[in-house]
Amino acid sequence: MITTQILNSEEIQRIHTCSLKILSKVGVRFLSPKAREILKARGAIVKDKIVFIPEELVNEALRTAPKTFILGARDRQKDFTMPKTGLAGTVVDNSGVFTLDFHTGERRECNLQDLFNFNKVYEASRWSTVVWPATIQEPDRPEHSREFRQDIYSFMSTSLHVQSELWHPAEVPLMAEALNLITGSEAETINRKIYSFTYCTNPPLGHDKEMCETYLESLPLGIPICVYPMPGAGSTGPASLFSNIAVANAEALSALVLFQMAKPGTPIIFGNAIGTTNFRNGNFLEGVPETVLQTAACGELAHFYGLPNEQAGCLTDAKTHGAQAILEKTITTIPLLNSGVDLLQGPGALECSNTITLEQIVVDDEIINYAQRLRRGIDTSIEKNYFTDIEEVGPGGHYLMQPSTVMACRSDEFMTQELTDGDTYETWTAKGKHDMYSKARIRVEEILAGAERYPLADNIKGGLEDIMRKADILLSPEKLNH
């Protein structure tokens, strides 16, 4: 396989040492009293809300964190081993608030049908692995339980692994009930791991109270936690790639330490959505070379620690479909895949992950397919040495009728183009002069017209609907403040 190295061993050690110094000398702010108590009991120094974490606790957390586990899916055929055993998987970024309407092109807020459509199209992709629920508007349902419902709707619309967030401890028993219903039992929920968390730290060097305490409450369920710092170099992080990576790494290590001290053996995905700053306007930037340099470096730090990892990639700041989106997504995909990332999080999104579209999900699958082929490199095994063919054809002949050529047409050594065009100009014109996005639209229409894949049984769907109605009541401000 082709490999890309962003950091050498000395540079990795330098960043690791800097992160340890940040943890022990600068400290990390934990707004949760419960988190501070856990860390203090294990030897951390606590001053007000700042926790100073010694190297010994980091080493202990790295020792107890599992080095491998499986992200389960409703369909067991789609389970994904962490770290990966072959090529990387992907995480569709449905988290954007907006979409470009498939029929009108209008930018609007996502609705429930969009969530089902996004997941149906993504599941039909070649590299689909994990779903982030779409951010939807449901005017006829309570806002306070919307994010919980988004997670349940995702289980109802895909057989893939679902990764999301919970924000209040009251959500934990409701999610446990839903997972037990889907898997069949509490024991299977713990064993199968069909759901995982993202845990976003608050840059720079902070942890909020609500999500932190919610995840501490959920630890008995064995739910994997993807720690996900996202400092922007020059705004919420220092204005050098080296120092911003060190800060992001310190944030990730601080989360690792907390959850390992609270429950040793908790599955951790060492993730990152680190970025940079547009110095013209202060905006966070995703689709630039500096972003992928940082995310790939963070992935190499995860390898250094022996932990599975998930990195933001296939990113763009483009507001609509087109050349900018393809350029930025390509440049933020290839280095990550070639550096050995386990999960690439970002396909489907535009506008710095604020917008998702059906067409972009399909286009990104093509970009990733190209990049995965590059990653596989050249097979120089004895089986690929066709000297006998060379000898048989000799000078001036051709290889079109050789049995090895016929076999190659059906092999994965030569990638088949799906959205890009390799025809002559005349043939391309006769077929309608399609570009990648017009071909993607045709593919979307074919997928959406097809039957639902891997549907849940009616009794499970009904049970999940009951749990969502219960959440509408139990997660109301009146109940939570009672």
- Residue-wise pLDDT for 65-81, tens only, equals 999 999 999 999 999 99
Tokens of 216: 């501490």
Is 234 within a domain? yes
User: ω before 139 within 30° of 0 (cis)?
Assistant: no
Is 473 within a domain? no
> pLDDT, tens digit, for every residue of 427-450?
999 999 999 999 999 999 999 999
On the 0-12 / 13-18 / 19+ scale of CB atoms within 10 A, 41 is exposed
CA distance 284 to 234: 10
In total, how many domains does the chain have? 1
What's the pLDDT score for residue 122? 97
CA distance 224 to 164: 11
470 CB-near residues (< 8 Å, 6+ apart): 174
Q: Which 3 state secondary structure label does DSSP give 443? A: helix
| Contact between 336 and 342 (Cβ < 8 Å) | no
CA distances from 263 to 45, 68, 221, 254, 294 (A): 20, 17, 11, 14, 30
What's the pLDDT score for residue 112? 97
What's the pLDDT score for residue 85? 87
How confident is the model over 178-185, as a mean pLDDT?
A: 97
- Classify 72 in phi/psi space as left (phi over 0), alpha (psi -120 to 50) or beta: beta
Is 98 within a domain? yes
With residue 185 as reference, give the H or E element that holds it.
none
Output b/e per residue, 421-456; b: 16+ Cβ within 10 A: eeeeeeeeeeeeeeebbebbbebbeebeeeeeeeeb
Range of the domain at 305: 63-376
Confidence label for 482 from pLDDT (cuts 50, 70 and 90): confident
Q: Tell me phi and psi for residue 89, to 5 degrees.
A: -95, 180
| Lowest-pLDDT choice from 255-264, 307-316, 405-414 | 405-414
Q: How many helices (H) and strands (E) does the chain have?
A: 19, 21
CA distance 405 to 390: 12
User: ω before 204 within 30° of 0 (cis)?
Assistant: yes
CA distances from 29 to 147, 205, 212, 232 (A): 26, 6, 12, 18
Angle among Cα 101, 103, 105 to the nearest 5 degrees reads 50
CA distances from 184 to 24, 166, 178, 196 (A): 44, 22, 10, 18
What's the pLDDT score for residue 237? 97
Q: Which 3 state secondary structure label does DSSP give 378? A: coil
| Contact between 197 and 215 (Cβ < 8 Å) | yes
What's the pLDDT score for residue 410? 84
Tokens of 136: 């939807």
Confidence label for 454 from pLDDT (cuts 50, 70 and 90): confident
What's the pLDDT score for residue 452? 87
CA distances from 355 to 54, 336, 361, 423 (A): 41, 22, 11, 33
DSSP secondary structure code for residue 202 in this structure = B
> pLDDT, tens digit, for every residue of 45-65?
999 999 999 999 999 999 999
| CATH code at position 282 | 3.20.20.480
**pTM (two decimals):** 0.96
Is 155 within a domain? yes
50 CB-near residues (< 8 Å, 6+ apart): 27, 28, 29, 30
| Contact between 467 and 475 (Cβ < 8 Å) | no
Tokens of 72: 């389960």
Tokens of 306: 């022996």
Is 237 within a domain? yes
- Within 10 angstroms of residue 374's Cβ, the number of other Cβ atoms is 14
CA distances from 93 to 26, 131, 216, 319, 434 (A): 33, 7, 25, 15, 26
How confident is the model over 151-162, as a mean pLDDT?
A: 98
Is 167 within a domain? yes
Look at residue 216 and tell me whether its pLDDT is greater than 90.
yes
Is 312 within a domain? yes
Q: What is the end-to-end Cα distance of the chain in Å, rounded? A: 58
DSSP secondary structure code for residue 419 in this structure = S
Is 273 within a domain? yes
With residue 81 as reference, give the H or E element that holds it.
strand 80-82
Rounded to the nearest angstrom, the gap between the alpha carbon of residue 279 and the centroid of all alpha carbons in its chain is 27
The residue with tokens 């080095």 is 67
> pLDDT, tens digit, for every residue of 340-362?
999 999 999 999 999 999 999 99
Q: What is the mean pLDDT of the chain?
A: 96
Sheet with 275-277, strands from edge to edge, namely 232-233, 275-277, 284-285
Q: Tell me phi and psi for residue 51, to 5 degrees.
A: -115, 130
